Amino acid sequence: MNQRIAIGLAASVSLAFALAAAMASNVGAAGVKTGGTLYSAMPWGTIPDNFNPFLPSGSNAGGTLSVIYEPLFYDNSVNGQLVPLLGTGYKWEDHNLKLVVTTRRGVQWTDGTAFTAKDVAFTFNYLHQYPVLDLSRIWSTGLTSVTATGSNTVVFTFSKANTPAFLYIAGQAVVPARLWSKVKNPSTYTNPHPVGTGPFTLQSFNPYVVKYVRNPHYWMVGRPYIHGLVIEAVKSNDTSLFDILKHNIQFTYTAITDVAKTFAARAPAVNHYWWPVNNTNLLYMNTQEAPFSNTAFRIAIAEALNTKLIATRAYYGAIGPANPAAFVPAQAKAWFNPSLKGLEHPYSPALAKQTLKKAGFKWTSTGQLESARGNPLPSYRILVGAGWTDFITMAQVVSNELQAIGISTTIDQEPWGTYESSLLTGRYDMAICWGAGTGPTPYYDYEQSLGSQYSAKQIGQVAVSDWSRFTRPAIDRALQSFRQTSNLAVQKRDITTVARIILRQVPFVPLTNRPNFFDYQTATFVGFPNAQNPYNAGDPPDAPGANLMYTRVHLK
């Protein structure tokens, strides 16, 4: 899968059909006990009353993108497998300028009408009509048209080769054309009566609990096995831990503190966790405001941080420190060029002070850092999610270590909605968050995190995923080169170009590896994903990959 996505082989359609066949063969498995309601809790604080699938996850109610609406395919970031959902196959034609997707037959929307390829074409053309909805910037990839050429065939035409765009197309939630064609302000539409193709339908909502019931007409015959799903919003990671220990819930996506001791060891027969690494936790710096606009200042911050200590304090050895260029471990061997080693910033507060001194910074008699003009620097905020114990711990270590070089900070805990808004609009100084993209190569995170099309020119404007607001023409050129070639050596050169800029100019500081924090207990339900059966990537309950879990989990 990794190679196929990277270089766009036309033969890729065969694997998609094979996966579809394997999926179909497992439908209606005999001997499975059906019924029951699955419970999950997430440290969100509250749940937004919004079921608009065009909004980023977190801006809509949990479940919108996992149980109501479905994409064409699910890309498993852990094992690279492609799972067909509303799509059953695809192929690249005409020198990778035409992508032909076959859609699934026999699917119904939850209002009883038939799903067709026209719904898929409408969805993508709707993104073109309302660019604010195009979060993955699909229409900036060279895409020129999307047309349904039959009841189950959609053709995507490009002006230039861009095979990595397939993953963005594959993961886009599809909506019914009949209903959404009537919505004229989709960016503000809350979609109170959602109609999707997914395995569940909305039963009830309040700001703390959203309930779903089984879709009896789901296209996967006999699925889901469970009859209900409840997703609750709680205040903190610790509350999620309490709920799963008491068996009030069956699973959560939570960075449990010292998970092996505080959770798994409490009931080894039923308490389990699977934390597959597929991303990086980063310290973002708002490069549109001083002094974070100063490269030397950012480098000094990188030199002042002991990422090994940060990882140990946050995850008790379960997760390690990050690669300095934000390569995830599974990709580092293939993509991290040895020539980058000399550009890494070793942990050294003394070196950090030298870097600041060379850049003209000074210190007061009490050790507070001041500008070249002799103005003491103010205290800076480190933005984290409220109740996110791992991020809070990281921020505490970062704060202590920056204090050692004269930088004063405070930790700003904000509930999810406010945290997300602050990050996207650039109303923060520093922030701890995950990398913006995942995929089979470093390209996807680099493009989402550093591509200029995902940034914003001014504070207050939304930067979709370039949250550091750092852009460079050399990065855009390298990413464009990667998109337009099938030569692996050239693609590796392009990734090295971006990695070298990250190391030399430090738009963010990679702190720790980031896994999917999948915690579950099997006292009542079984069939959860794990290392032995990674049918999804341990995704959170509101992400598209959770769809696969909801259709497989069943009573014990």
Range of the domain at 462: 277-515
Read off the CATH number of the domain in which 301 is found.
Answer: 3.10.105.10
Instruction: Write down the pLDDT at residue 23.
Output: 45
Q: Report how far residue 39's alpha carbon sits from residue 37's, in angstroms, rounded to the nearest whole number.
A: 6
Taking the CA atoms of the chain, what radius of gyration do you get in angstroms?
23
pLDDT at 12: 38
In terms of DSSP H, where are the helices of 41-182?
117-129, 165-170, 177-180
Are 59 and 177 contained in the same domain? yes
Q: Lowest mean pLDDT of 29-38, 117-126, 199-208, 265-274, name the range.
A: 29-38
Can you name the residues that pair with 369 across neighbouring β-strands? 363
Question: 20 pLDDT band (50/70/90 cuts)?
Answer: very low
| Assigned domain for 239 exists | no
Q: State whether 332 and 471 are in the same domain.
A: yes
Query: What pLDDT is recorded for position 259?
Result: 96
Could you tell me if 454 and 547 lie in one domain? no
In this predicted structure, what is the pLDDT of residue 80? 86
Kindly state whether residue 271 falls inside one of the protein's structural domains. Answer: no
Q: Is the Cβ–Cβ distance between 428 and 409 less than 8 Å?
A: no
Element spanning 445, H or E: helix 443-450
Residues 449, 551, single domain; the answer is no
Say what the pLDDT of residue 58 is.
83
Q: Is the pLDDT of residue 19 over 60?
A: no
- For residues 486 and 547, state if they share a domain: no
Residue 355 and residue 495 share a domain = yes
Position 292 pLDDT exceeds 90:
yes
In the numeric block, which tokens belong to residue 550? 């909801």
* Helices marked H in 171-231: 177-180
135 alpha-carbon distance from chain centroid: 12
- Place 486 in a pLDDT band, splitting at 50, 70 and 90: confident
Cβ-based neighbour number of residue 154 at 10 Å: 26
Q: Are residues 521 and 432 in the same domain?
A: no
Residues 54 and 176 in one domain: yes
**Position 541 in a domain:** yes
Using DSSP bridges, classify how beta strands 200-206 and 209-214 pair: parallel, antiparallel or unpaired: antiparallel
Work out how many domains the chain is built from and give that number: 2
pLDDT of residue 30: 63
- Give the whole-number percent of the chain exceeding pLDDT 70: 95
Dihedral over alpha carbons 81, 66, 539, 118 (to 10 degrees): 30
Give 458-481 pLDDT, tens digit per residue: 999 999 999 999 999 999 999 999
Does pLDDT of 446 surpass 50?
Answer: yes
DSSP string, 212-234: EEE-TT-SSTT--SSSEEEEEE-
Does the pLDDT at position 21 exceed 50?
A: no
Would you state the pLDDT for residue 29?
Answer: 60
CATH number at residue 141: 3.90.76.10
Supply the pLDDT for residue 17.
43
pLDDT band at 126 (very low <50, low <70, confident <90, very high): very high
Q: What does the alpha-carbon distance between residue 297 and residue 300 come to, in Å, rounded to a whole number?
A: 5
Residue for token digits 């009566």?
A: 193
Q: State yes or no: pLDDT of 8 exceeds 60.
A: no
Residue 243: predicted pLDDT = 97
Per-residue CA distances from 187 to 262, 378, 488 (Å) = 42, 37, 39
Tokens standing for 476?
């855009």
Helix (H) or strand (E) holding 40: strand 37-42
Q: Please say if the pLDDT value at position 310 is more than 70.
A: yes
Q: Where are the alpha helices (DSSP H) in 43-131?
A: 117-129
Closest residue by Cα to residue 121 from 89, 105, 145: 145
166 in a structural domain: yes
Is 315 contained in some domain?
Answer: yes
Which of 313, 309, 282 lies closest to 465 in space, CA to CA? 282
For the chain, report the end-to-end CA distance as a whole number of angstroms: 33
Together in a domain, 431 and 548: no
Amino acid at 443: Y
β-strand partners of 433 = 282
Question: Quick one: 368 and 506 in the same domain?
Answer: yes
- Same-domain check for residues 398 and 476: yes
Give the strand pairing for 518-521 and 508-515: unpaired
- Same-domain check for residues 543 and 423: no
Does residue 256 fall inside a structural domain? no
Give pLDDT tens digits for 391-436.
999 999 999 999 999 999 999 999 988 999 999 999 999 999 999 9
Give residue 167's pLDDT.
95
Residue 6: the pLDDT is 31
pTM: 0.88
Q: Is residue 40 domain-resident?
A: yes
H helices of 112-188, in order, are 117-129, 165-170, 177-180
Within 10 angstroms of residue 427's Cβ, the number of other Cβ atoms is 16
Kindly state whether residue 408 falls inside one of the protein's structural domains: yes
Residue 27: what pLDDT?
Answer: 46
Q: What is the mean pLDDT of the chain?
A: 93
Apex 489 CA angle, 484 and 491, nearest 5: 40
Instruction: Please say if the pLDDT value at position 133 is more than 80.
Output: yes
Q: pLDDT at residue 356 above 90? A: yes
Specify the higher pLDDT residue, 499 or 8.
Answer: 499
The answer to whether 123 and 513 have CB atoms below 8 angstroms apart is no
